[in-house]
Amino acid sequence: MLNKKSVDDINVKGKKVLVRCDFNVPLQEGRITDENRLVAALPTIKKLIADGGKVILCSHLGKPKGEPKPELSLAPVAKRLTELLGQEVIFAADPEVVGPNARAAAESMKDGDVILLENTRYRAEETKNGETFSKDLASLCDVFVNDAFGTAHRAHCSNVGVTQFVDTAVVGYLMQKEIDFLGNAVNNPERPFVAILGGAKVSSKISVIDNLLDKVDTLIIGGGMSYTFSKAMGGKIGTSLCEDDYLQYALDMMKKAEDKGVKLLLPVDNLIGDAFSNDCNIKVAQKGEIPDGWEGMDIGPETEKIFCDAVKDAKTVVWNGPMGCFEMPNFAHGTEAVAKALADTDATTIIGGGDSAAAVNILGYGDKMTHISTGGGASLEFLEGKELPGVAAANDK
């Protein structure tokens, strides 16, 4: 369990509460195309409204690189939150985020009112955790609540810097839920505990593999990263993704798995293509037998079966990263099969943000999973065993 104070441990009646949310939603021409992150933030916001707080919301959106970019304004979020909450969310449209609009709105708030500040990354100091912007944010509030798991692995003004200038800094329900699920899964799992890793690169998941080998009963590695393992074992991988700098690392991890008695499952066959395209020629190749000019694009049918069987008897499963180039329909089958296996198992299933979360939701299995993390990078760093700065900055219980 998380040893940080939460919104349940404080009294916010009549107080100005600055809440860092993760409203980093995809937008198309000003329209929100996936509102999961807004919905996920509602429990904390509703609780603070019900308790009579004066709720000041803030978030980043995209990467405006320290200057106002109208297409990355949070205005559409204020509009949608107004609908979702059934009460007006006043939008403080200051290009400097904490400006005359925000100050005036904050001054005239009544208990239970809600305002939303402009995109925190309009300020260049935000991502540098600078003092001036941290102080500006703190000057608006009496209490700070961090509910943005998606940015918890970063030390920015709006989630870490601000806590130095307020007396009370706590976490919200979403943050608590994310940490409880991921933390329990990794540190106190019901066994057998199976982790499934995929995605493009070994190099982005080095510490995850290393850390998980200390915790899991079975580690499954699919996706682009599996070809580095295949080559390290002397296999032919054609033009498949490979990081030659990590061949020794792959061998070290295989040795570690053996020493620890962890079952390490790698693809035994692959779906390969003669070009990086959905419409290329496609065939199945056995492991380590990918011809020149061909490239591994997905796990093969035999591998699908082995991976899905490993999940059947598991009691805890954590999944991060697709099994192949799932954006191309012809190479989405392996990722879909794993998603379905997770939907069908009785195990506690935790999906670590990013592509795997998107795949699960698109396939309509979202409500079959125990927990889908709202943070890709943050959940990965959690799986690496790192302390997240955004969590560390909250007051201890």
Instruction: For residue 321, state whether it binds ligand AMP (rule: CB under 6 A).
Output: yes
Residue 355 marked in a binding site? yes
**# chain residues binding ligand AMP, by CB under 6 A:** 17
How distant, in Å, are the alpha carbons of 189, 222, 254, 329, 380 from that of 195? Answer: 11, 11, 15, 25, 12
Catalytic-role residue among 5, 201, 236, 315: 201
**Residue 296 engages ligand AMP in binding (rule: CB under 6 A):** yes
E strand or H helix at 228: helix 226-232
| Angle in degrees, CA 318, 383, 62, rounded to 5 | 100
Q: Which residue from 11, 327, 364, 386 is in contact with ligand AMP, where contact means CB under 6 A?
A: 327
Active site residue 191: no
The catalytic residue among 16, 37, 80, 177 is: 37
Cα torsion angle, 293, 294, 296, 302, sign: negative
201 in active site: yes
Say whether 356 counts as a known binding-site residue. yes
Q: Is 197 in the site for ligand AMP (CB under 6 A)?
A: no
CA atoms within 13 A on the CB side of 212: 31
**Least distance CB 372 / ligand AMP (angstroms):** 15
| Nearest alpha-carbon partner for 299 in 317, 285, 315 | 285
User: What are residue 282's DSSP bridge partners?
Assistant: 273
**How far is it, in rounded angstroms, from Cα 271 to Cα 281?**
10
Q: Does 204 bind ligand AMP (CB under 6 A)?
A: yes
Which residue in 75, 200, 206, 363 binds ligand AMP (CB under 6 A)? 200
- 61 or 221: CB nearest ligand AMP: 221
Is 354 known to be catalytic? yes
> Rounded CA gap, 257 and 332, in Å?
28
Binds ligand AMP (CB under 6 A): choice among 324, 375, 389, 390: 324
Asked whether position 325 contacts ligand AMP by CB under 6 A, the answer is yes
Q: Is 37 a catalytic residue?
A: yes
The single residue among 297, 310, 317, 332 that binds ligand AMP, judged by CB under 6 A, is 297
Tokens representing residue 346 in the block: 């009785």
| Exposure b/e, 269-300, CB count within 10 A at least 16 = b | bbbbbeeeeeebeeeebebbebeeebbbbbbb
Interaction site with ligand AMP (CB under 6 A)? 199-201, 204, 223-224, 241, 296-297, 321-322, 324-327, 354-355
Catalytic residues: 37, 201, 354, 377
Binding-site positions read 22-24, 37, 60-63, 121, 154, 205, 296, 327, 353-356
